[in-house]
Amino acid sequence: MLHIVACIKQVPDTKIIKMNPKTNTMDRSSAPAILNPYDAHAVEEAVRLRARYGGIVSVLTMGPPPAVKAIRKCIEIGADEGYMITDRAFAGADTLATSYTLTKALEKIGEITPIDLIVCGKMTIDGDTGQVGPGIARRLDMPPLTSVNKVTELNKAEGYAIVHRKLEDGYEVIRSTLPCLISVEKEINEVPYSSLPNMLRAARYQPHIWSVSDLKDIDKTQLGLKGSPTIVSSVWAPKKPQGGQLLEGEPNEQIRQLLAVMLEHKELFGATAGGGVS
Amino acid sequence: MNMEDYRGVWVFIEEKDGIVAPVSLELLGAGKWLAEKRKTELAGVLIGENVQELAQTVVEYGADKVYVYDDPIYRFYRTESYMKAMLACVEKYKPEILLYGATSTGKDLASAVATDLPTGLTADTTQLDVEEDTGLLLASRPAFGGNIMATILCKKYRPQMATVRPKVMKALSRNNGATGEFIHESIPIKEEDIRTKVLEIVQTTTQRIRIDEADIIVAGGKGLGGPLGFQVIHQLANTLGAVVGASRDVVEAGWIGHHHQVGQTGATVTPKIYFAIGISGAIQHIVGMQNSGLIIAINKDPAAAIFQAAHYGIVGDALTIVPMITEAFKIALGREGEVDARKV
């Protein structure tokens, strides 16, 4: 049976987050916690692949207890099972420590049902790194396939997958052995509104919850802050731009002034004609 | 780990179709400065097939030496083959700092290498510095969607690694004929050891000027009211010979494709002229365009943050103002009455 596991994270909605202007720190309470938007696409892709090939979809997250809400959101999207690992020992993990911890949980999930494919979002909107997915793949000795925007084929019987990887100027078609890990771009799919049955199931759903003592062969020095080679030494507000000049007068007068400024760069105009249309 | 064993600044040289990626040249410029502060040398790591000639280019852009892995197995970038070459090189020569472009290739490679070494990796860096005496790399980057800047350190592991955004560092001017040392390396690696195969490479943007290479960008946001509002953006862009940009919210709303997106999760751009039209100016957008030469903002709301980032601002309804600018330009450029053959 095909087993797809999506790794997901609950994040503060960085579009809404507010800064405390006095301390230059984030007011996390101002931001609602949401399922990382890229991860919603990862779960949706897993669900779509299950529709094509059969099997089951599990989701895994590491986080504080309220992150159970993010798992429920994945159940709404259509995941079958949810696993959460939560422990103070995991706090302060950077991408290296996070990939270690998730790998230990994935090994345990894989003992219950062997894993054929791991799907991650391209990155999280709070960390913005995109490094955890490839890190998990290396630790599990699976080929990491990042920037995936299409899964053309999954063939468990013959043990391969064919995917498209997005490049700066196009894409490449890759054939990889299974199991492998893909991290997906958001254009890979659209996440539809949840169905009523999924919503009802999600509302009641209780994920499997593990702490550090539930994981096997854990090297505690690789967990959390202690296991993180990178540290944040300082944070500051980005420099405020200088602020320019609002043009004044009637619209025609403003445009006349704007034109005067721009025509100083006249050599540019038309030079790149042909661009513009998507 | 003995920190003293690790010396020198390295740049992963990204190559495609016989050309060094611009970001790699930018990183050689930044790396040279770091290496001089540390009184050490700058090296490039060049992996590919038939890349020998490019080694000279790398030296002409500032490297003292180039480690070259030249083999048909590296014809296409694949994580496993490139990672194995890079790991072997790091283990053999021990750099203290290793930089990669924050491209799809650079990020993919750096993530894999960091896990296997293991060491710390800072993603999407926009500022780099180094402590002269300790050699500690100060890698700074926007965090939490660009709401804050954070400086990340890796104190206990070497090399210190970072991916660096294209277009934020400056390449040195080319020193034609510069000489450097070429060190040819190889590792025992067989095609059957590599679990991924590149079946095909499809270019989709060769005909279109990429947004991060444009001289003029006309970018639109939610203030345009809807996809139809974007027509005025296309018309102005066509008149100016500009490329169309967009804020994240309109891309997410599906008004325009993702490759137009400017900002933290889109492209970083540095055009000579940037129009921000109907864009409120969230910090995520500002970090992607603030280094543009001349920034012109048009927005209904005089309090919009975008005016703080702009050199010139016009307060007004974009759907009224932008067509007036387009017409005025056609007249000023002698294109009055010109039939626009390019359909919007």
Q: Where are the domains of chain A?
A: 3-222, 241-278
Q: What is the pLDDT of residue B339?
A: 46
**Mutate: best of B79, B141, B292, partner A, most A CBs <10 A:** B79
Chain A residues 188-217 with CB within 8 Å of chain B: none
Q: List binding-site positions of B.
A: 247-248, 261-265, 278-285, 299
CATH superfamily of B211-333: TPP-binding domain (3.40.50.1220)
Cα-Cα-Cα-Cα torsion B311, B317, B322, B325, nearest 10 degrees, comes to -70
| Contacts B238 to A, Cβ<8 Å | 273, 276-277
pLDDT tens digits, one per residue of A31-83: 889 999 999 999 999 999 999 999 999 999 999 999 999 999 999 999 999 99
Mean pLDDT of chain A: 90
Query: From the CB of residue A22, how many other CB atoms can be counted at a distance below 10 Å?
Result: 6
The shortest C-alpha distance from B283 to chain A (Å) reads: 8
Mark which residues 121-180 of A lie under 8 Å from B by CB.
125-131, 133-135, 137-139, 143-147, 162, 165-177, 180
Euclidean distance between CA atoms A151 and A41, whole angstroms: 13
A131 contacts B121? CB cut-off 8 A: yes
Instruction: Count Cβ atoms below 10 Å from residue B203 Cβ, excluding itself.
Output: 13
Q: Under an 8 A CB cutoff, do A129 and B214 touch?
A: no
Contact A277 B142 (CB under 8 A): no
Taking alpha carbons only, the member of B150, B161, B87 closest to residue B121 is: B161
Closest chain B residue to the Cα of A270, Cα to Cα: B241
pLDDT tens for residues A151-178? 999 999 999 999 999 988 889 999 999 9
Q: Is pLDDT at B293 greater than 80 in this prediction?
A: yes
Please tell me which residue of chain B has the smallest CA distance to A25.
B148
Q: Which of B148, B294, B312 sits opposite A247 (nearest CB)?
A: B312
A244 near A117, Cβ under 8 Å? no
Q: Specify whether the CB–CB gap between B137 and B154 falls below 8 A.
A: yes
What's the rounded Cα separation, in Å, for the pair B100 and B31?
A: 11
Span A16-41, pLDDT tens digits: 777 666 666 667 777 889 999 999 99
Give how far B34 is from chain A: nearest CA, Å. 19
Q: At residue B11, does pLDDT exceed 50?
A: yes
CB atoms within 10 A of CB A225: 13
CATH number for A3-222: choose from 3.40.50.2300, 3.40.50.2020, 3.40.50.300, 3.40.50.620. Answer: 3.40.50.620
| Mean pLDDT for the stretch of residues B156-166 | 96
Which of A232, A244, A278 comes nearest B312 by C-beta?
Answer: A244
pLDDT band for position B333 (cuts 50, 70, 90): confident
Nearest to A230 among B154, B204, B343 (CB): B154
ipTM for the complex shown: 0.88
Q: How far apart are CA A38 and CA B302, in angstroms?
A: 34
Domain boundaries, chain B: 3-193, 211-333
Which residue, among B200, B231, B312, B338, would best test binding to A if mutated, counting the most A CBs under 10 Å from its CB?
B312
pLDDT of res. A278: 32
Q: Which residues fall within 8 angstroms of residue B312, CB to CB, at 6 or more apart?
A: A244, A245, A246, A247, A257, A258, A261, B294, B295, B296, B297
Cis ω before B323 (30° cut-off from 0): no
Chain A residues within 8 A of B147 when measuring between CB atoms: 14, 17, 19, 26
**Nearest residue on chain A to B245, alpha-carbon basis:** A276
Give the predicted TM-score (pTM) of the model. Answer: 0.85
Answer whether B123 sits within 8 Å of A131, measured CB to CB. Answer: yes
Chain A, nearest residue to B289 by Cα:
A241
Q: Does B202 contact A131 at a Cβ distance shorter than 8 Å? A: no
| Domain B3-193 and domain B211-333 have a common topology | yes
The Cα–Cα gap between B157 and B250 comes to: 42
Cβ distance B210 to A269 less than 8 Å, yes or no, reads no
For residue A114, the distance in angstroms to the closest alpha carbon of chain B comes to: 19
Chain B positions in Cβ-Cβ contact with residue A144 (cut-off 8 Å): 79, 108, 111-112
Give B205's pLDDT tier (boundaries 50, 70, 90).
Answer: low
Q: What is the pLDDT of residues B96-137, one digit of tens each?
A: 999 999 999 999 999 999 999 999 999 999 999 999 999 999
Closest Cβ opposite residue A229 in set B120, B242, B290: B120
B113, B99 Cβ separation under 8 angstroms: no
Position A270 confidence tier, pLDDT thresholds 50, 70, 90 = low
**With bands split at pLDDT 50, 70 and 90, how would you rate the model's confidence at A14?**
confident
Q: Nearest residue on chain B to A12, judged by CA atoms? A: B144
The pLDDT score that the predictor gives to residue A275 is 34
List CB contacts (< 8 A) between B314 and chain A. 246-247, 251, 254-255, 258
Q: Which amino acid, A213?
A: S
Considering chain B, what percentage of its residues have pLDDT values greater than 70?
Answer: 95
Q: For B3-193, CATH number? A: 3.40.50.620
| Smallest Cα distance from B153 to chain A, Å | 5
Q: Which of B142, B156, B234 is facing A238, going by the closest CB pair?
A: B142
- Partner-chain contact A126 B145, CB within 8 Å: yes
pLDDT score of B7: 97
Going by pLDDT thresholds of 50, 70 and 90, the confidence category of residue B342 is very low
